[in-house]
Amino acid sequence: MSAEFDITETLDVKGASCPMPVVKTKSAIDDLAKGEVLEVLATDPGSMSDIDGWASGTDGVELVDQEEGDDVYKHYVRKTE
Amino acid sequence: MSTDTPDAPADDTPSRAELAARVDELADALAEATDDDDTKKMSIIATKGTLDMAYPPLILASTAAAFGYEVTVFHTFWGLDILHEEQSKNLKLSSVGNPNMPVPNAVAALPGMDRVTTKMMERKIEDNDTASIEELLETSLDMGVEFQACQMTIDLMDYDENDFYDGVTTGVGAATALQDMADADIQLLV
């Protein structure tokens, strides 16, 4: 685990499939303050590409890191505004 | 030589006051044109009400809302069933006309086969933890997606306006949909 950022909240969307990981990430990010980081735990392999695409196409969020574990995909999204 | 600026020169040259008024007018028009362009918009027309075809508009609507899009989904003909509280829970999958089905059309056309394929699909959806139509609809409504039920088809199908989910807009027609499409960055017919 990288220690460059502090995790404010963790969202568990394990088991959920498209489009729920992205949709729930968006809702969870809305509840955070600027600068805070959301950790998203997913089992949907498509979430690697989808959360990346969502973060680059959406204002006010930044994808800080993604990790591909054995069965869990971890995403770290920072709220930037 | 006079230092005064000539106010009304000869011939057709516009006066300074006229030019100033024209500049103000253009500045206003520019502000208006660029004003609400920040919010991206998506307009979807949903015309199908089978279990498989109900998914794409709802998945795209909720995803676009997550991207910050202002989304309108105009439901017409069988697409209305997606917004119908009762019908939306009973959407069927047709076993005929789909060459990818594991049964030949001659068998698929037998009575009760649609029920079999629908059950099969429902089980797959459940096993795969794919969101239900109801869940996607409620999520999209929470995210501010505007669902519109075409008034003409409501009347045609003999539906009641109260049959639809709370938050669904009724009393709209093709002109509303057209206006939404004209304003949208993405327009889709499903």
Per-domain boundaries in chain B: 40-91+132-189
Which of A14, A26, A80 should we substitute to test contact with B (largest number of B Cβ atoms within 10 Å)?
Answer: A26
Of A16, A18, A54, the CB nearest to B67: A54
Q: For position B78, what pLDDT does the model report?
A: 96
Give A19→chain B minimum CA distance, Å.
6
The interface predicted TM-score of the complex, written ipTM, equals 0.82
Domain count along chain A: 1
DSSP label at residue A60 = T
CATH number, domain of A18, equals 3.30.110.40
Across the interface, do B66 and A16 touch by the CB < 8 Å criterion? Answer: no
Which of B37, B129, B130 should we substitute to test contact with A (largest number of A Cβ atoms within 10 Å)?
Answer: B129
pLDDT (tens place) for every residue of chain B, 190 residues total:
555 555 555 578 889 999 999 999 999 998 887 766 678 999 999 999 999 999 999 999 999 999 999 999 999 999 999 999 999 999 999 888 888 888 888 888 888 888 888 998 899 998 888 999 999 999 999 999 999 999 999 999 999 999 999 999 998 999 889 999 999 999 999 9
Is A58 a catalytic site residue? no
CB neighbour list of residue B159: distance below 8 Å, 6 or more residues apart: B80, B84, B149, B153
Please indicate if any CB of chain B lies within 8 Å of the CB of A69: no
The CATH number given to B40-91+132-189 is 3.40.1260.10
Residue with tokens 């005064």, as numbered in its chain: B4
* Residues of A whose CB is below 8 A from B57: none
Determine the 3-state secondary structure of A23 from DSSP: helix
| Residue span of the structural domain in which A43 resides | 9-79
Determine, yes or no, domain membership for A4.
no
* Residues of A whose CB is below 8 A from B62: 19, 23
Give A22→chain B minimum CA distance, Å.
7
Burial class of residue B99 in the structure, from the number of CB atoms within 10 Å of its CB (0-12 exposed, 13-18 middle, 19+ buried) = exposed
Give A5→chain B minimum CA distance, Å.
24
CB neighbour list of residue A21: distance below 8 Å, 6 or more residues apart: A13, A40, A42, A44, A46, A47, A50, A51
pLDDT digits (tens, 9 = 90+) for B42-93: 999 999 999 999 999 999 999 999 999 999 999 999 999 999 999 999 999 9
